[in-house]
A and B are shown apart, each in its own frame.
Chain A
Amino acid sequence: MRLGVLVSDFRNVDDTLSRLKADKLGLILVGNGVYLAAVKESGKPSQVLGMSPDIYALTEDLQTRGFSDADVDKRVKTITYDGLVDLIFNDYEKVIWI
């Protein structure tokens, strides 16, 4: 299964994400989920960033919150809404929102 997961929270997502199994797991950070890509708490990046090689963050939501691409962890690719639509239609069979 190729599973895309839209993550819209900063807190309490690790537990659910760590249980998900997929041949290809993509994490798409939107809303407050983009803080996972741009904020280091106590100097450490979020553990979520190590849960998949395919992690994306929505540019519109980064910029809304005062971040630029330069603030984003190197493991994360930034995408616009157009890119998000492409991901959903081309890369993943199923998409869930947590």
Chain B
Amino acid sequence: MATKKLAFIVRSMPYKTEASRLALTHAIASQTVEIYLEDGDMVEPVVAFMGDGVLNCLKNQNAMGMYGVTSIEQHLKNSLLLDLKVLICKEDVERFGLSESSLIMDAEDIGGETKATIVPFSEIQQEMETSNHLLFF
């Protein structure tokens, strides 16, 4: 029995392309791929936002109100609701002058208990090194 760790690294900005949305939906879906695994094997996804990708994590996105599409905020909250590990790069948060209060750190409003964490890039690097598969978006 083994655990396959997948690291989804998001460096793209939201909305102009589908990249960051795909990262989150793939990360959520990855937990259901047991049909491709040996008996008893598990999948452990981790999502990390770095570079311009941290702008995906801004609160109060109103994509549904403006364009009728699900916001990245909702996808991110769904990830937290499903207990995915979500990391946000501290250096990039600081570079953009963002505060923790301006970022989506939890999904409490939809019943989630897992929280996102702001971490130094070295921790994201560590996640990349310990993952079996690395996916950049």
Contact = CB atoms under 8 A, between A and B. Distances in A.
Interface of A: 8-11, 31-32, 35, 39-43, 60-61, 63-68
Given A32-B16, A64-B71, 6 more contacts: A10-B13, A40-B96, A63-B65, A64-B62, A64-B66, A67-B58
Contact of B97 (A9, A31, A40, A68): A40
Contact of A60 (B13, B66, B96): B66
A63 B96 CA distance: 18
A65 B14 CA distance: 8
Interface in B73-114: 73, 95-97
Nearest to B58: A66
B58 A60 contact: no
Contacts of B14: 32, 65
A32 B12 CA distance: 11
The interface size bin for chain B is: 20 to 34
Contacts of B63: 64
A70 to B, nearest CB: 12
Contacts of A9: 16
B73 A66 contact: yes
A11 B17 CA distance: 14
A62 to B, nearest CB: 9
A37 to B, nearest CB: 13
Interface in B1-42: 13-16
- Find the residue from A60, A61, A65, A68 having the highest chain B CB count within 10 A: A65
Given A63-B65, A64-B71, A66-B60, A32 B15 contact: yes
8 contacts: A9-B16, A10-B13, A40-B96, A60-B66, A63-B66, A64-B15, A64-B71, A67-B58
Contact of B67 (A32, A42, A60, A67): A60
A39 B55 contact: yes
Contacts of A41: 95-97
A66 B59 CA distance: 6
Contacts of A40: 96-97
Query: Lowest 8 A-B CB distances belong to which pairs?
Result: A66-B58, A60-B66, A63-B62, A66-B61, A66-B60, A64-B63, A32-B16, A64-B66
